[in-house]
């Protein structure tokens, strides 16, 4: 079946944006159920609804921004976000590769709960027939219950067939590439139509930025959620003429500096329209640096490992929150938090109840951002595909299985390796022998966690028969 046929078929059978809202409304205790209020948010609802922006880099490492210690990449706009907002030093994605990480960001749930991970295929490909299931509630879908305007710009990677596109998952509009920029065919989409093939990648960051500015301008008088998911610095790297050969870090630096420019343009637009004080902007990355790409891959700073692995470098990301007048300027937050918490945070701040018919793994960061900075998250589960490789509880991290991002060097550990991440963020010194009581406690946590996981079919293993 060709793409045109897919589009036609899906228009007949697929859920539209309104269909998703309808679906949520039919779920008792779900986000549209206004009779319940788990957050005591009635007061907040009377205030002006805040706007939300998520700027999501692809494969940018923990150490790739100036404010996170990079010596030669210049990121004045990210540095300004940190200076005027909150910088997180322990902010995590839920997976070390694109598709499961993005599914977790959008739904606040571990990918193991909705089939958005697999031991066989780590991400979705152009011949994939699966995607984010229709029953999943995305940030955009949930905010629709409060009449938010919702826009998705950039890389989606949660299913490229029409029934899985952003426009069927709560977004009013979409402009971007539906999967990674190294996958063929290389296509740019607007709404559900292909508008360019192959994609002119040199100008992609600039074009995403123009679309983001236009979206903000267009929706300046109503609450909005903008999901700005850049295609870079995922390899292959492309920068526009203005940035090419300009950074001290080579092409990788050029690309990151152009992303930083884009961040600045979005912040300028919010300031110019007097929206900054009513808009929470979060910046982070979907997974760690692609180290096997050598000079074209980024850096996890002092952290061990990178993209594809459950070492810290694979899943700990640069994290920034900016909301002038609300998030205290110049704060460094060392509590645990992560991309899965963004779902719960935005719903909390918008006065939308969390769905109660499913497990939500994220917790609201509203208190961290607007209050005393204390975090609610105590634990992190590090999955590779469907397998739990490591668990963090407080400062302790136990590795049951380790494997480099892209090597067949898998090793099971019994007893697990144990690192104290406050003392040893680079995971160099295994202290398992000295702390059997810590391991016993983490083992108990793993058992409880695994008892709550139901097996669901993987979306990543479904293939289009004709391809
Ligand atoms: Mg990625």
3-state per-residue secondary structure call for 57-106: ECCCCCCCCHHHCCCCCCCHHHHHHHHHCEEEEEEECCCCCHHHHHHHHH
> In the predicted model, what is the mean pLDDT of the chain?
91
Give yes or no for residue 16 having a pLDDT over 60.
no
Spacing of C-alpha 100 from chain mean position: 9
What is the rounded CA–CA span in Å between residue 20 and residue 26? Answer: 10
Q: What is the pLDDT of residue 465?
A: 77
Q: What is the pLDDT of residue 48?
A: 86
CATH number for region 51-378: 3.40.720.10
H helices of 224-311, where?
A: 250-272
Residue 13 has φ and ψ, to the nearest 5°, of: -110, -15
In the chain, list all ranges with CATH 3.30.1120.10: 381-451
Rounded to an integer, the average pLDDT of 160-177 is 98
- Yes or no: say if 358 and 381 are a contact pair by the CB < 8 Å rule: no
- Yes or no: say if 117 and 460 are a contact pair by the CB < 8 Å rule: yes
Q: Is 98 known to be catalytic? A: yes
pTM: 0.90
Residue 432, classified by CB atoms within 10 Å of its CB into exposed (0-12), middle (13-18) or buried (19+), is middle
Report whether CATH 3.30.1120.10 matches the domain 381-451: yes
Q: Give the distance between the most distant pair of CA atoms in the chain.
A: 62
Rounded to an integer, the average pLDDT of 363-375 is 95
How remote is the CA of residue 317 from the centroid of ligand 1, in Å? 11
How remote is the CA of residue 106 from the centroid of ligand 1, in Å? 15
Candidates 98, 234, 296, 399; catalytic one: 98
Higher confidence at residue 20 or residue 451?
A: 451
What is the rounded CA–CA span in Å between residue 95 and residue 85? Answer: 26
Candidates 70, 152, 157, 219; catalytic one: 157
Q: Is 70 known to be catalytic? A: no
How remote is the CA of residue 365 from the centroid of ligand 1, in Å? 23
Q: What is the pLDDT of residue 237?
A: 98
Q: How confident is the model at residue 125 (pLDDT cuts 50, 70, 90)?
A: very high
Q: How confident is the model at residue 466 (pLDDT cuts 50, 70, 90)?
A: low
How remote is the CA of residue 13 from the centroid of ligand 1, in Å? 31
Cα-based angle 182, 183, 185 (whole degrees, multiple of 5): 125
Higher confidence at residue 141 or residue 44?
A: 141
Cis peptide leading into residue 415 (ω within 30°): yes
- Yes or no: say if 154 and 359 are a contact pair by the CB < 8 Å rule: no
How remote is the CA of residue 20 from the centroid of ligand 1, in Å? 27
Instruction: Encode pLDDT of 194-252 as tens digits.
Output: 999 999 999 999 999 999 999 999 999 999 999 999 999 999 999 999 999 999 999 99
Instruction: Encode pLDDT of 304-332 as tens digits.
Output: 999 999 999 999 999 999 999 999 999 99
Q: What is the pLDDT of residue 373?
A: 87
- Range of weakest confidence among 36-45, 255-264, 382-391: 36-45
In the chain, list all ranges with CATH 3.40.720.10: 51-378
Q: Tokens representing 127?
A: 């011949």
Q: List C-alpha distances in Å: 119 to 164, 314, 386.
A: 21, 17, 6
Higher confidence at residue 39 or residue 343?
A: 343
How remote is the CA of residue 405 from the centroid of ligand 1, in Å? 12
């Amino acid at each position: 079946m060709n793409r045109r046929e897919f589009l036609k078929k899906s228009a007949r059978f697929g859920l539209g944006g309104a269909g998703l809202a309808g679906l949520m409304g039919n779920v008792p205790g779900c986000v549209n159920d206004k009779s319940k209020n788990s957050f005591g948010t009635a007061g907040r609802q009377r205030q002006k609804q805040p706007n939300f922006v998520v700027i999501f880099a692809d494969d940018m490492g923990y150490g790739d921004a100036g404010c996170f210690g990079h010596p030669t990449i210049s990121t004045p706009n990210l540095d300004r976000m940190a200076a005027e907002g909150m910088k997180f030093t322990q902010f995590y994605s839920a997976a070390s590769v694109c598709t499961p990480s993005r599914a977790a960001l959008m739904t606040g749930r571990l990918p193991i709960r909705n089939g958005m991970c697999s031991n066989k295929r780590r991400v979705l490909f152009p011949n994939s027939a699966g995607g984010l299931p229709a029953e999943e509630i995305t940030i955009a879908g949930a905010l629709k219950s409060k009449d938010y305007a919702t826009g998705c710009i950039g890389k989606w990677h949660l299913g490229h067939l029409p029934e899985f596109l952003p426009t069927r998952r709560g977004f009013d509009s979409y402009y971007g590439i539906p999967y990674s920029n190294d996958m063929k065919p290389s296509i740019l989409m607007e709404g559900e139509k292909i508008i360019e093939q192959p994609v002119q990648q040199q100008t992609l960051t600039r074009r995403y930025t123009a679309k983001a500015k236009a979206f903000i301008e267009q929706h300046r008088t109503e609450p909005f959620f903008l999901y700005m998911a850049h295609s870079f610095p995922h390899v292959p790297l492309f920068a526009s003429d203005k940035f090419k050969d300009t950074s001290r870090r080579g092409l990788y630096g050029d690309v990151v500096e152009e992303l930083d420019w884009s961040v600045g343009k979005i912040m300028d637009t919010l300031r110019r329209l007097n929206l900054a004080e009513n808009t929470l902007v979060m910046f982070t990355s979907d997974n760690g640096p692609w180290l096997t790409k050598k000079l074209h891959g980024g850096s996890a700073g002092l952290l061990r490992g990178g993209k594809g692995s459950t070492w810290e470098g694979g899943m700990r990301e640069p994290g920034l929150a900016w909301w002038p007048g609300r998030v205290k300027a110049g704060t460094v937050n060392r509590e645990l938090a992560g991309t899965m918490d963004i779902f719960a945070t935005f719903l909390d701040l918008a006065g939308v109840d969390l769905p109660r018919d499913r497990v939500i793994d994220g917790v609201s960061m509203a208190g961290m951002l607007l209050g005393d900075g204390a975090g609610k998250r105590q634990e992190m589960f590090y999955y590779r595909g469907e397998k739990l490789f490591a668990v963090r509880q407080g400062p302790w991290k136990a590795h049951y299985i380790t494997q480099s991002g892209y090597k067949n060097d898998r090793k099971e550990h019994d007893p697990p390796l144990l690192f104290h991440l406050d003392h040893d963020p680079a995971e160099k010194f295994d202290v398992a022998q000295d702390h059997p009581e810590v391991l016993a406690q983490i083992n108990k946590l793993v058992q409880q966690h695994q008892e709550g996981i139901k097996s669901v079919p993987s979306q990543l293993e479904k293939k289009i028969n004709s391809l």
